[in-house]
Structure 1
C-alpha cells in the first residue's frame, strides 16, 4: 500500500516546524520537507526526518521533485509553514489538484501596499498610508500623513525593517537604512509609510471563515514592534470581541481569503478596531500552542486536516487562559551563559520553555522577531493565575551578555 505523504515547503527554526511534523505523523502521514538548506532545521537532523534539498524559489524544480515523489508516495497534501513560501505551496496544490488556498489571493495579500488598497476599497478601517521608492517620496508621504509614522517594507514579516519614526531625524535615518543597502529586500525596494495607530494590540486567529479566538499582545518599547507577551484569549468586552470579529471577517471578503488559516493584526484605537496587517497563513509559535492550551483546539493538526481534505473540528474543549513571555536580551554582545530552563519548566502550570540560543552566541539586536532568545508558556483556569505562574518561571531563567569590545580596544 502506497504511503500518504505531506509535503512541507521549507520548515521553521522556531519550534513550529517540529509541531507540524509531529501532527502529520499522528495523522498517519509521512512528512517530507523540501528545502534549499535542510540542515538549517535542527529537528530534521535530530529526528532523522525526510528532507530533500531543492531550490524552493524555483516552482518548476518543486514540481519536478513532487512528481518524482509521487512514484513512491501518495501525496495527500502540500503546504508551508513560512509566509514567504505559502503562495508557492498554493501553486503546487493547484498544479497537483490538491486542496489549497488561491495563490493569487495569497500573493496580493503578501504585498502590503496591494493589501492596503483592497482593504481601503472595501471600507475596512486601516491607517492612512502611502508607498515610496525613494527618500523624497517617503518625506512627501510622511508630510501628508503627519508624524509620527511607521515605515515598513512592502514585503516581509516578523517586523523586520519596521520602525516608528517620531521626528524628521528618525524618518531620515530609517529611510536611509531601508533604501541605502542595509535592509535585505526580496524584490525591488518599496516602503510603506503608515499612520501610527495607537492602542492595545490584538490578533484574530481564523480558520476558514471562523474566528477561533482573539490574542492580546504586549509590545516592547518604541521605536520597534517586538512582542514581549502574548495572551489567549484576550480579555475584551463582548462589544470589542464582536467588532474585532466583524472587521476580521470583512478582511477575508476584501482579500479573497477564507480557505485555511489567517491571522489578522489589529489595534483598538479611539475609533475602534483598525487593521494593521492580514497574514494569510497560520501564526507561528507560540500562538498555536496557546490556542491548544486555552481551548483544546490544535490549529496545526486542523490545518493539516484541511490540506489533505479531511473534516475540521474547531470545537472548544475547555476554556483556560494561556500566555507566553518572550525572552529578549537587554544589550548586544556575546552570550556568556543562559540557564534555569529546567527549573522554570518544573513550575506547576508551565507548559513549555524554549530557548533558541546557546553560550558563545553573538547577540545583535535589530528590533524585530529575530531578537527573541526564547519563550516560556504557562496556562491555568484564570488570567491572574497564569500571569503569576509565568512570572515565577521567567524569574528562574537568567543569562549574561558581555558587550562587544569598543572599536580600538
Structure 2
C-alpha cells in the first residue's frame, strides 16, 4: 500500500501532444510530484503536487541543477520520495544527480552522461570492441578540417548533444564541409547548455535504421519494442515516420541483442529505460546512439498500441526500483507518419482526414497553426504540419493505411522568401 506522503518525482513534462499519455500512465502506478518551469495546466489531473523552478539557467549556460536538487531536497523534507525519472533529454543527467544524492534507484550521473555525450558514447563502445564508424570530435572549424582526412568522405556531422537528428548532415566532399560544420555546430546550441559546442565527425555508414526502447534492471538489458525509422530530406536525416511491429523478428535476433547488451554494459547503464538507435550495416548492427530516456515522436505510444506494454508505467516502476512486467497483451503493428511542406512556407490552413475515413486510422492531428513558419533543413527542423497514426494486424496493412491517411492531410500555405 502506497503511503499518501509518498511521491515519485518527474523532472519536466514536455509537450502535451507528445507526452501526456506517459505522464498519465505513470500516475496510475504511483502519485507524482512534478518539478517543471511553469505551473501545470494539462498536467494537473495527473500529479499530486508540483514545484515551479527554472529548469535551465541560461545566464550561466548550464541546467539549473543546484536549484532543482535543492527543490527535490525540500520536497523530501515533507514527504518520502520514492523515485525520480524524466523523459526530457535535457534533464536526464539532472534526474540521475537527484537519484544519486537521495539514494534512489536509477542511472548514475556517469551513466547518464555516457549516453548524453555522443563522443563519450562512441569512445566507450569503441573501447569494448563493438563495430563503430571512424570518428573524431572537433570544437572549431580548424580542428574539424584537421580531423576530416582520418574520418574520410562521405561522412556525417552531428552536434555533440542534440537529439531527433537535429543538425545531423551527410557531407560527400570537402567542398561542402565548411558550411556543413558551421550548420551542425550552430544547431548544437539549441539544446542543453551542458552540451553546447562540439561536433562529432563520423564515417558515413549505410543501411536500414531502427530504434529500440528497452529497460535495464540491475545491469540486465531487455528490449520492449522496435521501431523501424523512415527518414528524408537528404543529405539531412529528418525523421518522417516510425513503424512498430509486435512480432518483429529482430526482438530475438542474437547479433542485435549482443550489441545492445554490450553497449549498455559499456555505457554503465545499470537500471533505467533507454532509447537506442541502431544502423544495420555491412559490418553488422552498429549503435548510432543511446538515449537515457523513452523515445520521442510518439514511438512509446506506438509500442503500447502494438504490444500492450505501457512505457510510462514501466518508467515509473523502474524509478521505484521494481522489475517491470513486459508481458505483451497486444499483437499488431502501429505506425506514425509526419507530413512536411514541399518548401519553406507560412501556414494558412491545415486539414486532416477523419478517423473513420481510413481503415486503421487512430489519430490524425494538425500540428502547425495559422501563421506558423515552417522551414526545411537546414533552415529548420521538425517542420511538420500534421501527423497520422494507424494500426493494423500486420505491417503491410499498416503501411498502406499510413500512406492513405498521410495523403489525406492537406496544407494551404504561402511560400517564404
**TM-score scaled by length of structure 2:** 0.88
Report SS of the residue matched to 1:12.
Answer: coil
Aligned residue among 23, 26, 40 for 2:25: 23
1:322-354 alpha-carbon deviations (Å, 9 max, x no partner): 11112222221210001125x146634222334
SS of equivalent residue, structure 2 residue 324:
coil
Moved more, 7-16 or 93-102: 7-16
Which whole-Å CA distance do the structure 2 matches of 1:145 and 1:86 have between them?
Answer: 30
> Which residue is equivalent to 1:259?
271
* Structure 1 counterpart of 2:210, from 197, 202, 210: 202
Structure 1 residues 52 and 386, CA gap change in structure 2 (3 angstroms): same
The number of aligned residues is: 401
Q: Aligned to 1:2, which of 1, 4, 10?
A: 4
Q: Deviations over 1:172-210 (max 9, x none)?
A: 111233457995472452111101110111112211111
* Alpha-carbon distance between aligned partners in 1 of 2:397 and 2:358, rounded to the nearest angstrom: 13
Q: Find 1:347's aligned residue among 326, 347, 358.
A: 358
What residue is the counterpart of 1:54 in the other structure? Answer: 53
- 1:40-66: CA deviations, max 9, x gaps? xx7347989854321222222123222
Secondary structure in structure 2 of the residue aligned to 1:370: coil
| Change over 3 Å in CA distance of 1:322–1:64 after alignment to 2 | same
Q: Distance in 2 between matches of 1:239 and 1:285?
A: 21
Normalised TM-score (structure 1): 0.89
Select which of 370, 373, 388 maps to 1:362: 373
Determine which of 122, 144, 160 is the counterpart of 2:150: 144
* Matched residue, 2:33: 32
Change (3 A) 1:165 1:111: same
Please say if residues 335 and 399 of structure 2, whose CA atoms lie closer than 8 Å, have aligned partners that are also in contact. Answer: yes
**Is the CA contact (8 Å cut-off) linking 1:352 and 1:377 kept in structure 2?**
yes
Alpha carbons of structure 1 residues 366 and 278: separation in structure 2 relative to 1, 3 Å: same
Structure 2 partner of 1:297: 309
> What is the CA-CA distance between 1:364 and the residue it aligns to?
2.4
Structure 1's 301 and 237: CA in aligned 2 closer, same or farther, altered over 3 A?
A: closer
Q: Which deviates more from structure 2 when the two are superposed, residues 232-241 or residues 3-12?
A: 232-241
Indicate the SS of the match to 1:394.
helix
State the alpha-carbon separation in 2 of the partners of residues 243 and 182 from structure 1. 33
Three-state SS of the structure 2 residue aligned to 1:372 is: coil
Could you tell me how far 1:72 is from its partner in structure 2? Answer: 4.8
Using the TM superposition, give the Cα deviation of residue 236 of structure 1 relative to its aligned residue in structure 2, in angstroms. Answer: 6.5
Pairing 1:149-164 to 2, within 5 Å after superposition: 149-164=155-170
- C-alpha deviations, 1:1-59, integer Å up to 9, x for none? 63433322112126343123211332251x333223457xx734798985432122222
> Where does residue 69 of structure 1 map in the other structure?
75
- Structure 2 equivalent of residue 387 of structure 1: 399
1:127-175 CA distance string (max 9 Å, x none): 1101112222212222222211111111221222211111222211112
Aligned equivalents of 2:67, 2:197: Cα separation in 1: 27
**Counterpart of 1:113?**
119
2:387 counterpart of 1:375: yes
Please give the alpha-carbon distance, in whole angstroms, between the structure 1 residues aligned to 2:247 and 2:201: 31
Does the Cα contact within 8 Å between 1:145 and 1:194 map onto a contact in 2? yes
Is 1:102 the counterpart of 2:108 in the alignment? yes
SS at 1:264's partner residue?
Answer: strand
| 1:242-295 CA-partner distances (Å, limit 9, x unpaired) | 222211111011111141211221111122212211112211232111111111
8 Å contact from structure 2 (residues 151, 202) kept in 1: yes
Corresponding residue for residue 132 of structure 2 = 126
Select which of 288, 294, 299 maps to 2:300. 288
Give yes or no for contact 1:15–1:285 (8 Å, CA) kept in 2: no
Range that drifts further, 180-189 or 283-292 = 180-189
* 387-396 or 366-375: bigger deviation: 366-375
Choose 68-77 or 274-283, whichever is displaced more.
68-77
Any unmatched runs of 5+ in structure 2? Answer: 56-62
Q: 1:238 to 1:45 in 2, by over 3 A?
A: closer
For residues 246 and 136 of structure 2, the distance between their equivalents in structure 1, rounded to whole angstroms, comes to: 31
Q: Structure 1 CA distance, aligned partners of 2:349 and 2:38? A: 29
User: Equivalents in 1 of 2:307, 2:346: separation in Å?
Assistant: 40
Q: Which runs of 5+ in 1 are unaligned?
A: none
Give distance in 2, aligned partners of 1:10 and 1:239.
Answer: 31
